[in-house]
Copies of this chain bind each other. A is one copy, B any other.
Amino acid sequence: MSIRELAAQTGVSISTVSRVFNLPDKVNADTRAHVLQMAQAMGYLPNGSARSLRTQRSRVIGVVLPTLLNPVFAECLDGIAQAASDAGYAILPMTTNYQLAQEEQAVQQLFASNVDGLVLVVSNPATCSALQRLRTAGLPYVLAYNRHVDHPCVSVDSELAVRQVVARLVALGHRRITLISGKLAASDRAQQRQRGFFAGMAEHGLDGSQWLEVPFVETAVTEITALLQGSQRPTALVCSNDLIAIRSIRAATLAGLRVPQDISITGFDGIALGEDLTPMLSTVTQPNADIGRCSVKLLLQAFADGVPPAPSASLLLEQGFRTGESCAPAPLP
């Protein structure tokens, strides 16, 4: 079913049919109605490939994410999909498993797919060569969750958020607080959160040297459990994401500790599931779907302007804190 057949059946020219779909105002109301009716009847749909080839725009937004297995990115993708769909764009997602090589490859593939722009979450914007390629190619892109002065980003102030978490714990009487961080090399967010932890501990004159680095993907319950032995064990764990917090709760329980009576645990991300857990996760909440939606909006604005989003267009959204049930006053010594 091509535009030609429809034109022939309708008794108008190809260009009239084309105009009906692209510049409806420029066509007589009666002919327009007629064409639309015939299109409906014949099940005509404009061919996307031909359209993209002709206009050099695909109406597709590429998406690069570390993984879908962490709900935080699934929630974000959901927001991206909504905003894109609302604007008549399709999305083409790829995952990288936090691996630099896969980031490169994903960008490469999306490049070849003629995406109009990209939303991506990379390990580290500072060292991501794929971003250079995008920039020199003039392909619009927006980073989500990442934060870097040289790139357009939609994120929250992770560092501040973790400093505030530390302050909360201190206010609850905790002194021995340990950071459970995701792999720093694989995530600038983990780095920011670590900085927030160090800053927060320093602000309160506490020893911030206790911290553990664990993988994002595999569980590290045994390592965390080991940390929780002995009388000088921490009374609170600050985890750099919700998944790690969930694993830490398990580790604590396996170590014979009760959460939150014996040990307090905080997360970061605000995944929806955390609210249904027992104990409900105490965590920094990010507007994950909104981060996705805003990233797409920035991209759409850039399409309209005809110029890639500038680093200065970066958005810092508000984070929050869900009190939850995994934090309590420090146990008496």
Report which A residues bind B (CB closer than 8 A): 45-50, 52-53, 58, 60, 67-69, 71, 74-75, 77-78, 81, 85, 90-95, 109, 111-114, 219, 221, 243, 246-247, 249-250, 253, 272-273, 275-278, 280
Contacts and interface: CB of A to CB of B under 8 A. Distances in A.
In the complex, the count of this chain's copies comes to 2
Contact of A71 (B49, B50, B69): B69
Given A68-B75, A74-B74, A81-B95, 19 more contacts: A45-B112, A47-B114, A48-B58, A49-B49, A49-B58, A67-B78, A69-B71, A78-B95, A81-B93, A81-B94, A85-B94, A85-B109, A91-B93, A246-B276, A246-B277, A249-B278, A250-B276, A250-B277, A250-B280
Given A49-B52, A93-B91, A273-B243, A68 B78 contact: yes
Contacts of A46: 112
Which of the listed residues A71, A92, A250, A276 has the most CB atoms from chain B within 10 Å of its own CB? A276
A180 B120 CA distance: 38
Contacts of A91: 92-93
Contacts of A67: 78
Given A92-B92, A276-B219, A74 B81 contact: no
A77 B71 contact: no
Among A67, A78, A111, A280, find the residue whose CB has the most chain B CB atoms closer than 10 A.
A78
A111 to B, nearest CB: 6
A247 B219 CA distance: 23
B45 A53 contact: no
